[in-house]
Structure 1
Amino acid sequence: MTGLSQGFPPQLRLKKAAEFKKVFTNPVKSTDRYFTLLATPSDFGRPRIGLAIAKKMIRKAVHRNVIKRTVRESFRLQQQTMGSIDIVVLARKEALDAQPETLRKSLEKHWLKLVSKCASC
């Protein structure tokens, strides 16, 4: 894991529909008021993240983008402590009214929870 930088290169992103589908088929879940995170073990040797922030939940693009930036930044800072897992982040309507600091704290709890759950997979 020492080869990871603090950046967010394309290798750390889920991009293809098949990659998202793999996570959706048999996930480990972590849910709270703001987010639902789904995770599965990965063969890539590093954590990867995919964002599924629905227009139906967060209507305005400006608000969706704020949430996406917050999730990416939190992931970028925590990626060193994660194993080899693929994660999909789904936002809930309550995330719209929450402060970015509240969302970061929520995500930190999710990262820890998913790492411990996926370690046993």
Structure 2
Amino acid sequence: MTAAPAIQTFPRRVRLLTGADYRRVFEDARRQRGRDLTLLYRRSDSGEARLGLAIGKRHVRHASARNRIKRIVREAFRLRRTDLPPLDMIVLARGGAATTDRRALRAEIDSLLERLQ
């Protein structure tokens, strides 16, 4: 198996890791809404795009569905992160995300990320 190019990885420095990181975005967020996903974002202090995920059990009951949504969002971010402006962003799932198919979720997150450029 070959390794992915370094620019297509998802290293720790491009993740929102601490509660303070999440709080900063939630307190001063702009919003892009899709049908099943919401993207909150603000200017990043780190100088590059960073991603956080908040896929709540309240909206997506089953862990397997939450994990599927997270994988789809991380993959879309990983492939686009070098083209994104320096923003801290959090993706939230809305009620219908659990039943939406993979292609539709991927198209939606791609559309939300495209609006940021």
Per the TM superposition, whether the score is higher than 0.5 is yes
- What is the aligned partner in structure 1 of residue 66 from structure 2? 64
Among the aligned pairs, what percent are the same residue?
A: 38
1:88 to 87, 90, 103: 90
Report the aligned-residue RMSD.
Answer: 1.0
State whether residues 35 and 89 of structure 1, in contact with CA within 8 Å, keep that contact through their aligned partners in structure 2.
yes
Query: Structure 1: which amino acid aligns with 2:52?
Result: G
1:1-121 aligned within 5 A: 5-115=7-117
State whether residues 72 and 106 of structure 2, in contact with CA within 8 Å, keep that contact through their aligned partners in structure 1.
yes
Normalised by the length of structure 1, the TM-score is 0.89
State whether residues 55 and 91 of structure 2, in contact with CA within 8 Å, keep that contact through their aligned partners in structure 1.
yes
Moved over 6 A (4+): none
State whether residues 45 and 84 of structure 1, in contact with CA within 8 Å, keep that contact through their aligned partners in structure 2.
yes
Query: Structure 2: which amino acid aligns with 1:24?
Result: F
5+ residue gaps in structure 2?
1-5
Normalised by the length of structure 2, the TM-score is 0.92
Deviations 1:48-84 (A, max 9, x none): 0000000111111011000000000000011111011
Deviations 1:64-112 (A, max 9, x none): 0000000000000111110110000000121111111111110111012
State whether residues 39 and 87 of structure 1, in contact with CA within 8 Å, keep that contact through their aligned partners in structure 2.
yes
Query: Structure 1: which amino acid aligns with 2:26?
Result: F
